[in-house]
Structure 1
Amino acid sequence: MKIVIAGGGRVGSVLAARLVAEQHTVTVIERDSATCTRIFEEVGAVTVCGDATNPRTLDAAGIATADVAAGVLARDPENLAFAMLVRSMSSARVMVRMLDTSYREAYRLSGVKELVAEAEVVVAKMSTAIDFPQVEGSLPLAGGDALLFELAINPRALVAGKTVAQVRTMEGFPRDSLFIGVVDLEGKTMVPDGSTVLRAGSTVILVSRREQLGQAVKFLTAEPVHASLTPLMQALRKVDFLAPLSDEELTVVARGAEFLQRPAGSEIFKKGDAGEGFFVVLAGEVKMMGDGGQLVGTVGPGGFFGELALLTGEPRMATSVTTHVCELAVVGRDDFRTVVMANPSVALEMSRILGQRLSRAQGVPPPSVKRKGLFGR
């Protein structure tokens, strides 16, 4: 196709390079002569140095025989003038980058139907990336009411190895979401049908209503809960400072845990050690020893210890020793912090609960001054 681009800035240059690479005939209109020279030499597009809102310049660029006219000038008034002139001089399809959405109606009245609202695209992509870090890329559709997005299939995901037809019949899959592409491990893209298998490591491309994006991402990234996690999940749900976590967040914490077996008389940690994790007793018993070997307390199945050092960053306040053969689960700082810090409201609630616990432990009423947050923040 023959394509005329108004504007040789960053967007215009990249667009011209892509279209030239796809074997289209491209002409770029740009006021700056140095930019014209650079695009001609580096991109290989024909350039016309001049004003894209001047009919004579458009005529010199061959607008009368163009198939597509794209306006990517720096200001909406210029793009609007370019679009109106093109429509008066040519039958080319007109598409425009809209910088200010207040010009939407003016573009509509001038007959421009193909608008790319730059700010809306950027905001939609960034907000999606913030809310759903699992999403690798996204593009708003239908004025933002729908989203096209990419998501890698985790090897542990429930949907890994299943066909598109099987996934669509599974409970919890949002029915208005549609698979439109699958990128395999070699980077080849295919249009899926019902028999297409969602292989681990591949990337799926879907279209979903924006309000259902969270449900779609949650469903496609869900992992089976291993039987060995069930006792740990039950124990973690009893931990007061973990109460603000959702079931999904608590599952992430449990999956990151390390399982240990220790014989009787084993020292788990000693007073003064750095607190890099907290422990849940799944079987057996652990005694907590203070100065001079004084017994501070015992922790049995379902109990936990070592959490204060993890949360406050302070050294261990006691020495822990197994009294029987013990099965323990260790929740590390990094896994725990990843989940908590991804949700500021959860972190604040946990800080409040921790403050209350520390106050009760010290036998003093809660202070009225603002406390530090988790991890010394």
Structure 2
Amino acid sequence: MKIVIAGGGRVGGTLAARLVAERHQVTVVEKDPAICNRLFEDIGVVTVCGDANDPRSLESAGISGADIAAGVLARDAENLAFSTLVRSMSRARVMVRMLDSRYRAAYRLAGVSELVEEAEVVVAKMTTAIDFPQVAGSLPLAAGDAILFELEVKPKALVSGRTVAQVRAQPEFPRECVFIGLLDPEGRITLPDGSTVLRAGHTIILVARRAELARSVECLTQEPQRQEDTPLAEMLRKVDFLAPLSAEELATVARGADYLRKEPGEAIFKKGDAGETFYVVVSGQVNLVADGGRVVEVVKPGGFFGEIALLTGEPRSTSAAAATPCELAAVGREDFRGVVMANPAMALEMSRILGQRLAKVAQQDNAPQKRRGLFGR
């Protein structure tokens, strides 16, 4: 499209650069020769050095054949005069930046089709950022009645691993909150449908009524509840090598755990991976798989796995994958060491327990295997 911009300041220059990058035909009308030269040299945009409220300058900019005329001058009075002049010279669609809302009616009488109220946009963005620090970015729509916003999916969020349809089916999720985009960590955007999975680290783009924004953000960021007397701490109490830890220390380890959701068949780790984490199964089941796809153990709720590689530093000896939809609590090496290494006597006792376990595992590995069939297959 052919676009004439009145004003080459910060907003006008930024707008011109974006439109030129999108291959529109852009001309900027600006009084200051230095700004005209800078715009031409920096972004290659055509400039007319003159007053945007002078018919001769607009004629030089080709206003008669323009599709859009955008007024971003420093004062509303100047933008209003520009709008009126454009309507008398061209059939271009007129849009302006409005600084003072008292000019709204005058702009409408001048035939301005698009009003961008700068103060409204800034205030709406700042109040959204203050009220909802989880929101990565926002833009008011429909005079602020609706909000376009971005939200990163956190690893501990309950929606992580769920589909858009599953999230929208929750009774507490606002009906008028709509998913319109999903941005992956590499910057690729997709248009989601009901089967799209919300994965940790991805950014969701949504539109919601402002009145429903709080409920939308709460549903999308909610995490499993944590308490001092957490069920995870009770599960950790059953782990043999954690037996020397006190109730307070177990609670500290539990609070540092990350909650993960896995779908059936989804890998948790592979044989040979570094052992940086051990896992407790909160719900569902996990298969530990040896070479050839043989399931060597099924870990059920309250069970744990991955602890030997964590404690010894050796690579994973098996692979692990979700057998059913499951929820896991993942305890990392650093969180674990922070508690254990604070008490040398406790670390020594845990080393003794670990040594007994490793000896037992080695004994099982060296036990004679029962032959099956004539050739022991």
Partner of residue 49, structure 2: 49
Note the alpha carbon deviations across 1:35-85, whole angstroms, 9 max, x for none: 111111111000001110111111110000111111000000100111111
Partner of residue 242, structure 1: none
Cα distance change of structure 1 residues 175 and 50 upon mapping to structure 2, 3 Å threshold? same
How does 1:335-350 map onto structure 2 within 5 Å? Answer: none
Partner of residue 195, structure 1: 195
Please tell me the residue identity of whatever aligns with 1:28: V
Contact kept? 2:93, 2:113, Cα under 8 Å:
no
Partner of residue 156, structure 1: 156
Note the alpha carbon deviations across 1:13-46, whole angstroms, 9 max, x for none: 1111111111111100000111111111111000
TM-score for the superposition, normalised by structure 2: 0.61
Cα distance change of structure 1 residues 32 and 263 upon mapping to structure 2, 3 Å threshold? closer
Partner of residue 369, structure 1: none
TM-score for the superposition, normalised by structure 1: 0.61
SS class of match (1:174)? coil
Please tell me the residue identity of whatever aligns with 1:54: D
CA RMSD of aligned residues (A): 2.4
SS class of match (1:207)? strand
- Offset at 1:185? 2.2
Note the alpha carbon deviations across 1:189-223, whole angstroms, 9 max, x for none: 11111111111110001111111111111110001
- Offset at 1:230? 6.2
Structure 2 distance, partners of 1:157, 1:108, is 46
Structure 1 distance, partners of 2:139, 2:158, is 26
Structure 2 distance, partners of 1:152, 1:262, is 35
Structure 2 distance, partners of 1:169, 1:262, is 42
Cα distance change of structure 1 residues 180 and 260 upon mapping to structure 2, 3 Å threshold? farther
Are 1:7 and 2:12 matched, yes or no?
A: no
Partner of residue 357, structure 1: none
Please tell me the residue identity of whatever aligns with 1:11: V
Unaligned runs of 5+ in 2: 232-241, 253-345, 347-377
Structure 2 distance, partners of 1:263, 1:175, is 46
Please tell me the residue identity of whatever aligns with 1:210: R
- Offset at 1:225? 2.6
Cα distance change of structure 1 residues 131 and 261 upon mapping to structure 2, 3 Å threshold? farther
Structure 1 distance, partners of 2:151, 2:185, is 13
Structure 1 distance, partners of 2:120, 2:63, is 29
Please tell me the residue identity of whatever aligns with 1:97: R
Note the alpha carbon deviations across 1:302-342, whole angstroms, 9 max, x for none: xxxxxxxxxxxxxxxxxxxxxxx9xxxxxxxxxxxxxxxxx
Structure 2 distance, partners of 1:65, 1:159, is 51
Please tell me the residue identity of whatever aligns with 2:229: P
Structure 1 distance, partners of 2:244, 2:21, is 61
Contact kept? 2:13, 2:39, Cα under 8 Å:
yes
Q: 1:231 aligned to 229, 232, 236, which one? A: 229
Partner of residue 127, structure 1: 127
Note the alpha carbon deviations across 1:95-127, whole angstroms, 9 max, x for none: 100011110111111111201100000000001
Please tell me the residue identity of whatever aligns with 1:194: G
Please tell me the residue identity of whatever aligns with 1:81: A
Paired-residue identity, % = 66
Cα distance change of structure 1 residues 172 and 88 upon mapping to structure 2, 3 Å threshold? same
Cα distance change of structure 1 residues 51 and 165 upon mapping to structure 2, 3 Å threshold? same
Say how many residue pairs are matched.
Answer: 242
Are 1:100 and 2:100 matched, yes or no?
A: yes
Partner of residue 341, structure 2: none
Structure 1 distance, partners of 2:181, 2:230, is 38
Unaligned runs of 5+ in 1: 234-258, 269-278, 280-324, 326-377
Note the alpha carbon deviations across 1:253-277, whole angstroms, 9 max, x for none: xxxxxx996569x9x9xxxxxxxxx
Partner of residue 82, structure 1: 82
Please tell me the residue identity of whatever aligns with 2:124: A
